[in-house]
Structure 1
C-alpha cells in the first residue's frame, strides 16, 4: 500500500510540474508574439518601472509623467497603427502592416537621461496615471531590470523581460489552483484539471504575456485561494491566519483587486469545522463555543493584511479623499451613451468577452459563440460544485472571489455611468485574480460530474489537458494572424513581419518558439503517462473530499 501511495504521489508531482511547464511555455509564446504596446497601458507600465529603476520614485497621482523613452519606443514599435485583425476597419488610419519595422540594433537604449522625466516637466509631457496604484509590481520589475543588467538595455529587451516576469507569476499560480482542488476533492487527477484553464482564454495570454500589473494580483490571490480553502477544510491554526493576511496584504501593495478576497476569507472562517467536530449539514454552522476563536483568527488575518499592505488604501482615503484616486482624467465624450436598460447586459457581455479574448486594446474580438460556450461551461461547473453535497462549503469560498471581482468591476462601471451615461473600465482582466479559484471550481464541478470516480477523473484530466493544448495553440494562431497578417499577405510575409518587429533575432525567435512548443507537447505526454501510471495505484476513496 505504501508503495502504491508513493507511486501516486510521484505521478501527482510529475503531472503538476508538467502542467506548470505547459502554462509557462504557452505564456512565453504570447510574450514573444504580441507586438509591443498591444495590451492596455503597456507603455505606461514600462515607463513607471523605469522611473523607479532610475530613482524617480513614486509621485502622487497626477504628478507623474511618462518618461521620454516611451515616445521613442512607441515610434520604434509602430505605434499607433491599426492591427489587421481589428474588428472595425477605420479608413484613413495608419495601418501596422504598412509601417516599416525599426532596425533592431538601432532601437533606443535606456539611460538616466530618458528613463525619468526632467523637473520641471516639459509642456508636452503626458501624465502617467499608473501612480494611482501602489508601486509593488513596478518595484519588482525595476529590481528585475537592475539585477539582470537590462535597466540600460534597449527598451524592447527590457519590455520582454517584464513580460516574462508576468508569465512566471501566471505559471506560479498553477500549483495553488491544483492544490486547492485536491484539498477539496482528495483526488489528484481531478485536482489537476484546474491547471490548464488559462489556455482556454486567449485574453489571459495577451494580458499576462505582456507587461501588466495584473500579474501580481493573479499570484497573490492564487495563494490566498489555497490558504482560504485550507481554512474552510479545517486548518484553523494561527500561523495559517497570519500567512493568509501577509499574502493578502502584499497583494494589496500591487492593486486594489485583492480587497475582493475579503468576503471569501470571512466565509472560510465562518464555515470551517472547529475543534475536530465535523461540519454540520448542509449549510448550518456550529458556532457553539467557537464564535470568538473564529472571529479572532479572521480578525488576525484581516488585521495582518491591513498592516502588510492594506494601509496604502486607508492612507489614500485619509490623504487623497478616495480609495483609488484618478491618475489622469479621461475624455469619454466620444463613447456611446448607454441606455439604462442596456447597462447590465452590456456590462456582463463586455466583461465576459474581454475575459476570454478581446486582444490588444479591445479591438480584436474572439468569436462570441466561443465566449458564450466557455462562460456557460464554467458557470455550469460552478453550479454543480455549489449544489452537489460533498464540497459545497469549499466551493462557496472559491466562488466568492471571482464573483466579487466581477461584481466590483460592474459596480464601478455603473457608478461612472450614473454620472456620465457611458460605460468604461469593463475589462475581464480585472477578474484574472480569480483564475486559480475558477480553475479549482471547474475541477470540483467536473469531479462531481464524473461521480467522484478516480478512473473517470484520469480520463477527464487527459481530455482537458489535450483540449487545453489545442485551444492554446489555436488562440496563438488566431492572434498571429490578427497581429501580423493582412488579407493580401502570405504566411511567409506575416512571419517575416513578426520577426522584424521582435526584440529577438530571427534565430533566437525560432529557437524560443520551437522550444516552447516542444516543452508543451512533452508536458502533455507526461500528464498522459502519469494518468496511466496512476491506474496501477490504489484509488482514492470516493468519500474523499471536504466540505
Structure 2
C-alpha cells in the first residue's frame, strides 16, 4: 500500500510539472488570493477582492513566453519584483472571497515559509501546487482503507487507489493551486470514517472524529456542506440492530453538534452579514439579465450544457477555460459505463458475505446531494442571468471515495467466480491508469506541442524553455510512476480474494 500511495503522489507531482502555470481551472484567482493573504491584505467581502497587478503582470509574462519562448522562463520576475513594480489591484474581480479563507491561510503560510518574494513567480506557484499534491496524496491510502473495510476484499482494496488514475481531472485539480485540495482530503476522510461506522466501529472516538473532520470540511469550502446531512444519516443508520434508535439519535446529535460548534462560524457570518449562505463572488460581473425578446429559458439547453459540462469536467477537461478534453466519446463511454454499472449492481444484496445495501444507500446520498444542489444552483443562475454557469464535475470530488466504494460494490458482483473476479480486477487495474496516461498525453500535447500528438522534439524544447523544472526531471518522475503502476497491477493480479478480511468491530460502546 505504501507503494501505491507513493505512486499516486508522484502522479500528482507529474501533473504539477506538466500543466503550464495559470492553466489549471481558476488558478490565477486562487494564486492571487493566496498572495493577498500572504501580503496581509485581509479577506474582503465577496466580489470586493480584485486580482493584484502583480499577478496580472505574471500572467502577461507567461502569455508572452507562450507566444515567443526564445527568452525562456529564466527571464521571468520574482514575486517580490512583481509586487514592487506593479503595486495595487486591477479591475478584475477575484471571486475567491466567496469561500472561507481557510485554504488560503494555509497557502500563505507556505508562501512565507519558502520566502516567496525571492522566488520566481512560477516557482512560488509550483510550491503551492506541490503543497496541494501533498494534501491529496493520502487520498490513495484512504481509498484503500475505505474499500478494504467496506468490501473485506484485499484485491478490491488494492484496486481502489488505481481507480483514482482513471479521472485525469482529479490529478489536474489536485496538483494545481486550488481550495479543492484540502476538500479532497477531508471529504475522503469523512467517507472513510462513515464507512467505519456503517461497518460496526461504534466507538466514541470514531464518532467524534467524524464530527471534527466534517467540521473542518465545511469551513474549507461550501462543497463540503452536503456532508452534514450525509453524516447525520450515517450516524442514525450505523448500529441498527445493535443500538436502539434513541441511542443512535443521540449519537447523531453529538456529531451534528460538533459540526455546528466547530464548523458553522463562516456560514453564520454569511447569513448575518449578507443574508445568504454563500454570496456570489461573481455578482458584480454577472448581474441579473432578461432573456432576449422572443427567447425563453430552455430545459433542453440547460440540461445539455449543465450535465454535459459536469461529465466532461469530472473525467478530464483540464485547462484554465476547460479548453482541453480527453474527448466527448471517451467521456460518454466512461460516464455511461460507470453510471449503469453502479445503478444496476451497487445496491443489490451480494451473493455472499455481509449485506452492504445499507452502506451503499448511505454512501449514495453524498454525491447525490452534491449533484442536486449544484444543479439547483446552476438553474437559479440560468433563470436570473441567462447563463448556464457554476457546473463543474470537480464539485463532486468531495464524495469521490463514496463513488469509488459504490463502484467496488458493483464491479465485484459481475463475475460469479474468484477467477472471474481476479481477471476483471486485473483488467480494471490496467484500464484505469491507461485512461489517466491518455489524459496526461492529451494535456502535454495540447500545451507543449501545439495540440499535436505524440510529443515531439519541438515540444520537449518548448518545455525546456518555459517549464518550471528541467525536462529530464519530468522524465524521471514519469518513469517512477510507470514502474510503480506496473508493480501495483501485478499486486492486484496476485492478490487474494475475500479471505483475510478485516475484523469488523461490533462494539456498542458510546
TM-score clears 0.5: yes
Specify which of 319, 326, 343 is matched with residue 302 of structure 2: 343
CA separation of 1:440 and 1:419: change in aligned 2, threshold 3 A: same
**Which of 450, 456, 478 is the aligned partner of 1:517?**
478
1:206 corresponds to? 172
* Pairing 1:469–2:424 present: no
Deviations 1:193-245 (A, max 9, x none): 22122322222222222111111111110000011111122223222221111
Rounded Cα–Cα distance in structure 2 between residues aligned with 1:502 and 1:155: 12
Among residues 221, 232, 240, which one is paired with 1:255 in the alignment?
Answer: 221
Change (3 A) 1:222 1:487: closer
Matched, 1:539 2:505: no
Matches within 5 A, 1:69-108: 69-78=54-63, 98-100=67-69, 103-108=72-77
Whole-Å separation in 2 of the counterparts to 1:197 and 1:528? 11
Q: In the alignment, what sits opposite 1:317?
A: 271
Change (3 A) 1:525 1:343: closer
How many angstroms does 1:70 deviate by? 0.2
Cα separation, partners in 2 of 1:141 and 1:116, compared to 1, 3 Å:
farther
Cα separation, 1, equivalents of 2:478 and 2:318:
22
- Counterpart CA distance in 1 for 2:249 and 2:33 is 40
Instruction: Choose from 301, 309, 327 the match for 1:367.
Output: 327
CA gap of 1:331–1:300, structure 2 versus 1, over 3 A, is same
Q: Which residue in the other structure is 1:330 paired with?
A: 285
- 2:480 equivalent to 1:526: no
Q: Which residue of 1 aligns with 2:208?
A: 242
Partners of 2:169 and 2:493 in 1: how far apart? 32
Alpha-carbon deviation of 1:378? 1.6
**Contact 1:65/1:127 (8 A) holds in 2:** yes
> Given the superposition, is the C-alpha separation of residues 323 and 233 from structure 1 closer, same or farther in structure 2, using an over 3 Å criterion?
same
Distance 1:470 1:526 in 2: 14
Q: 1:131, 1:33 → 2: CA distance?
A: 28
1:194 is aligned to 160
Whole-angstrom distance in 2 between the partners of 1:238 and 1:148: 40
Residue 40 (str. 1) matches residue 25 (str. 2): yes
Matches of 1:293 and 1:63 in 2, distance apart? 47
Give me the whole-angstrom Cα distance separating, in 1, the residues matched to 2:331 and 2:379.
23
Task: Report if aligned partners of 2:159, 2:492 keep a CA contact under 8 Å in 1.
Answer: no
3-state SS of paired residue (1:503) = coil
Distance 1:481 1:427 in 2: 24
Contact kept in structure 1, 2:154 and 2:495, CA below 8 Å: no
Indicate if the aligned counterparts of 1:43 and 1:70 stay in contact, CA closer than 8 A.
yes
Partner SS state of residue 66, structure 1: strand
Cα–Cα, structure 1 residues 539 and 455, in superposed 2: closer, same or farther, change >3 Å? farther
2:383 counterpart residue number: 418
- Contact 1:30/1:205 (8 A) holds in 2: yes
Cα distance 1:457–1:149, how it changes in 2: closer, same or farther (>3 A)? farther
Answer yes or no: is the 8 Å Cα contact 1:128–1:327 preserved in 2: yes
Mean Cα deviation higher: 488-497 or 24-33: 488-497
Alpha carbons of 1:450 and 1:131: their partners in 2 closer, same or farther (altered >3 Å)? same
- Residues in 2 aligned to 1:45 and 1:431: alpha-carbon distance in whole angstroms: 19
Q: 1:382 to 1:115 in 2, by over 3 A?
A: farther
* Structure-2 change in CA distance of 1:32 and 1:101 (3 Å): farther
CA distance in 2, matches of 1:467, 1:300: 43
Q: 1:335 to 1:25 in 2, by over 3 A?
A: farther
Give the direction of change, closer, same or farther, for the CA distance of 1:514–1:349 in structure 2 (3 Å limit): same
Summarize the Cα distance change of 1:102–1:456 in structure 2 as closer, same or farther, 3 Å threshold: farther
Task: State how far apart, in whole Å, the 2-side matches of 1:515 and 1:334 are.
Answer: 54
Q: Deviations over 1:352-394 (max 9, x none)?
A: 1111122211222332121111112221332211123421111
Using a 3 Å threshold, how does the CA distance of structure 1 residues 440 and 487 change in structure 2: closer, same or farther?
A: closer
User: Where in structure 1 are there 5+ consecutive unaligned residues?
Assistant: 1-15, 80-95, 279-288
User: Structure 1 residues 317, 116: CA separation in 2 closer, same or farther (over 3 Å shift)?
Assistant: farther
- Per mean C-alpha deviation after superposition, the further-off stretch among 379-388 and 407-416 is 379-388
The residue number in structure 2 matching 1:64 is 49
Secondary structure of 2:83's counterpart equals coil
CA distance in 2, matches of 1:334, 1:107: 44
Distance across 2 between alignment mates of 1:503 and 1:169: 21
Q: CA deviation at 1:454?
A: 5.0
Q: Distance in 2 between matches of 1:230 and 1:310?
A: 25
Using the alignment, how far apart are the partners of 2:95 and 2:310 within structure 1?
22
1:356 to 309, 315, 334: 315
Q: TM-score, normalised by structure 1?
A: 0.83
For structure 2, list consecutive stretches of 5 or more residues without a partner in the other structure: none
